[in-house]
């Protein structure tokens, strides 16, 4: 087993949320922007999109960082089969949350770890499904929430690690970190499969 501190660990992401999550496991990692097209393919389902983008992010960064362990992750929000993207504007965020009111949204988080210490690279993948049940939300509650937290860069228009938790009836998940964007339980499992000692 190789100790995690002795590995060149690279997070294929510029997301501050993923950076903060990975820092719970280790402070010793680099971040590299994957620079890929994140648009969905024709007829691509939300879970397939999350998994493909996680793999593509890791693959692109691993190609430029031989000898590294590269982590790619991506998340999609699925409302009855409809992909909910990042809202980017207050109006879009309010509309997304109104659509989610009193409904269930499924979050698919794809994870890929590429071991670029060997050729060919070893590719390990995992997938997390988290079901978020929203409480009934009126327009004033939605407007106050969006104004206060500005969740414009979050799929589904909320931050569960912040005030967004107040919008829910319940969450069904095997890994609470998955909803923030990087499933740490699955990540630790994949790192162990790559023979990396975490603790």
* pLDDT in the model for residue 161: 85
Range of the domain at 76: 2-197
Residue 124 scores a pLDDT above 90: yes
CB 21 within 8 A of CB 182: yes
Output the domain CATH number for residue 26. Answer: 3.90.950.10
Annotated active-site residue in 74, 115, 128, 175: 74
* pLDDT in the model for residue 85: 87
Q: Assess whether 140 carries a catalytic annotation.
A: no
Residue of 30, 39, 28, 34 lying closest to 12 (CA atoms): 34
Q: Which of 1-5, 125-129, 146-150 has the lowest mean pLDDT?
A: 1-5
> How far is 125 from 84, CA to CA, in rounded Å?
23
Report how far apart, in Å, the C-alpha atoms of 195 and of each of 8, 50, 72, 80, 135 are.
14, 25, 18, 39, 43
* pLDDT in the model for residue 118: 87
Residue 120 scores a pLDDT above 90: yes
Model confidence at 170, pLDDT cuts 50, 70, 90, reads very high
Which residue stretches of the chain are H helix? 16-25, 46-64, 90-100, 139-149, 184-193
For the residues 95-110, what does the mean pLDDT come to? 97
As given in the structure block, the two tokens for residue 80 are 């009855």
Give tens-digit pLDDT for 42-54. Answer: 889 999 999 999 9
Q: How many CB atoms lie under 10 A from the CB of residue 100?
A: 24
> How far is 34 from 54, CA to CA, in rounded Å?
10
* pLDDT in the model for residue 121: 96
Q: Which of 62-71, 88-97, 106-115, 153-162 has the lowest mean pLDDT?
A: 153-162
For the residues 160-170, what does the mean pLDDT come to? 93
| Angle between helix 16-25 and 184-193 (nearest 10) | 60
Sign of CA dihedral 132, 86, 84, 97: positive
* pLDDT in the model for residue 172: 97
Give tens-digit pLDDT for 15-30. Answer: 999 999 999 999 999 9
- Number of folded domains in the chain? 1
């Amino acid at each position: 087993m190789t100790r995690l501190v002795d590995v060149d660990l690279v997070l294929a992401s510029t997301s501050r949320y993923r950076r903060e999550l990975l820092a719970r496991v280790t402070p010793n990692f680099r971040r590299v922007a994957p620079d890929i097209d994140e648009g969905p393919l024709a007829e691509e389902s939300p879970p397939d999109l999350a998994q493909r983008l996680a793999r593509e992010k890791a693959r692109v960064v691993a190609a430029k960082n031989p000898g590294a362990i590269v982590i790619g992750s991506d998340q999609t929000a699925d409302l009855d089969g409809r992909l909910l993207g990042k809202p980017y504007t207050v109006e879009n965020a309010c509309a997304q949350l109104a659509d989610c009111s009193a409904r269930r949204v499924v979050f698919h988080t794809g994870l890929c770890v590429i071991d670029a210490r060997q050729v060919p690279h070893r590719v390990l993948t995992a997938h997390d499904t988290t079901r978020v049940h929203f409480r009934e939300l009126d327009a004033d509650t939605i407007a106050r929430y969006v104004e206060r937290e500005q969740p414009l860069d979050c799929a589904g228009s909320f931050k569960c690690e912040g005030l967004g938790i107040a919008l829910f009836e319940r969450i069904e998940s095997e890994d609470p970190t998955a909803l923030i964007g990087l499933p740490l339980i699955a990540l630790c499992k994949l790192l162990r499969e790559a023979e990396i000692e975490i603790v």
